[in-house]
Amino acid sequence: LMKLDMALNEVNIVKLNKTTLDGGGGGGIDVNKLQEIRQGLAARRAAQLPKLVSCLAKEITDSSSEQETESCEEASIDFQYGDCDSFLEELNELYSYSEAPDLCDNYNAFSEKVASCCSTSSWKLFDRRQMEHFIFLLLQEFEIVSPERRLAALKCLAYLLQGAFMECKSAEELAEAIICNVIVAVECGVWPALCMLFYMEADSLVITDADNRTSKDGQSLRLVLICMYTIVETVRRLDGEVDKLILRQRFVQELSEQRADSSLVSVLLDMILKYCSGSAPYYPIRKLLLLLWKVLLLTLGGWKELREMKMQRRLAYGLHCGWEDTVSTACTMQPRGPDSPHPICPWNSAPSSKGKSDAVNLVHEVISVQADDDSCNHPSSEGVDTPEALRLNLDVSRQKEIIVKATAALLLLMLKHFKLNHVYQFELLAQQLVFANCIPLIVKFFDQNVLAYVQSSNELPELNYIQCALACSGAGPPLPARFHQTLLETATAKCRQTQSQPPPAGHFLWRNLFTLINLLRLLNKLAKWKNGRTMMLVVYKSAPILKRALRVRHMLLQLYALKLLKAQTRYLGKQWRKSNMELMSAIYRNVRHRLNDDWAYGNEVQSKSWDFQTEESNLMIEIDNFNCRRYGNLFGALRKTSSMAGIGDVVFEDLQPYDNDVMSVLRKPFVFSQRFKRNYRQWLEHEVFQLNIDWDQLLQ
What is the C-alpha to C-alpha distance for residues 102 and 108, in angstroms, rounded to an integer? 10
pLDDT band (50, 70, 90) for residue 335: confident
Asked if residue 100 and residue 63 are part of one domain, the reply reads: no
Q: In this structure, are 97 and 229 located in the same domain? A: yes
Distance from first CA to last CA of the chain, Å, rounded? 119
Q: For 289-324, what is each residue's pLDDT tens digit?
A: 999 999 999 999 999 999 999 999 988 888 887 767
Same domain, 154 and 182: yes
In a domain, 99, yes or no: yes
Please identify, among 197, 227, 261, the residue that sits at the C-terminal boundary of a domain.
261
436 domain residue, yes or no? no
Are residues 65 and 91 located together in one domain of the fold? no
Same domain, 23 and 113: no
**Dist CA 269 CA 264 (whole Å):** 9
As a three-state string, the secondary structure of 585-636 is HHHHHHCCCCCCCCCCCCCHHHHCCCCCHHHHHHHHHHHHHHHHHHHCCCCH
Identify the CA nearest to 181 among candidates 116, 115, 106. 106
Q: Above 90 in pLDDT, residue 238?
A: yes
Collect all residues with Cβ–Cβ distance below 8 Å to 672 and sequence separation of at least 6.
680
Examine the domain organization and report whether 236 and 117 are in the same domain.
yes
Alpha-carbon 386 to chain mean position: 32
Q: Do residues 257 and 134 both lie within one domain?
A: yes
- If one counts the domains in the chain, the total is 3
Structural domain includes residue 400: no
Higher-pLDDT residue of 376 and 598 is 598
3-class SS of residue 479 = coil
- pTM metric for this prediction: 0.78
Give the C-alpha distances (Å, rounded to integers) separating 528 from 255, 537, 566.
34, 12, 11
pLDDT of the residue at 302: 93
Residue 545 lies in a domain: no
- Which residues, at least 6 apart from 224, have a Cβ–Cβ distance to it below 8 Å? 154, 194, 197, 198, 201
- Stretch 404-431: mean pLDDT: 96
Provide the domain limits for residue 11. Answer: 2-69
Q: Report H helices in 237-344.
A: 242-256, 264-277, 285-300, 303-316, 326-330
Last residue of one domain, picked from the residues 40, 69, 98: 69
Q: Which residues pair with 262 in a beta bridge?
A: 259
Same domain, 48 and 101: no
- On whether residue 450 sits in a domain, the answer given is no
- What pLDDT, on a 0 to 100 scale, did the predictor assign at position 439? 96
In whole angstroms, give the CA distance from residue 487 to residue 132: 35
Measured from the Cβ of residue 111, the count of other Cβ atoms closer than 10 Å reads 16
Quote the pLDDT of residue 610: 59
Is 288 within 8 Å of 275 (Cβ atoms)? yes
- The tens digit of pLDDT for each residue in 183-231 reads 999 999 999 999 999 998 888 876 555 555 666 678 999 999 999 999 9
Considering Cα of 592, then 597, then 602, then 608, what sign does the dihedral take? Answer: negative
Is residue 40 located within the same domain as residue 102?
no
In whole angstroms, what is the distance from residue 360 CA to residue 133 CA? 78
On whether both 43 and 109 belong to a single domain, the answer is no
**Range of lowest pLDDT (53-62, 375-384, 491-500, 527-536):** 53-62
Task: Render pLDDT for 396-417 as a digit per residue (tens, 0 to 9).
Answer: 999 999 999 999 999 999 999 9
For residue 385, the model assigns a pLDDT of: 66
Q: Does residue 563 lie in a domain region?
A: no
Residues 44 and 120 in one domain: no
pLDDT at res. 635? 64
pLDDT at 630: 82
Determine the pLDDT at residue 474.
Answer: 79
Q: Both 16 and 149 in a single domain?
A: no
| 475 pLDDT above the threshold of 80 | no
pLDDT of residue 598: 80
Rounded to the nearest angstrom, the gap between the alpha carbon of residue 350 and the centroid of all alpha carbons in its chain is 49
Give the mean pLDDT of 337-341.
56
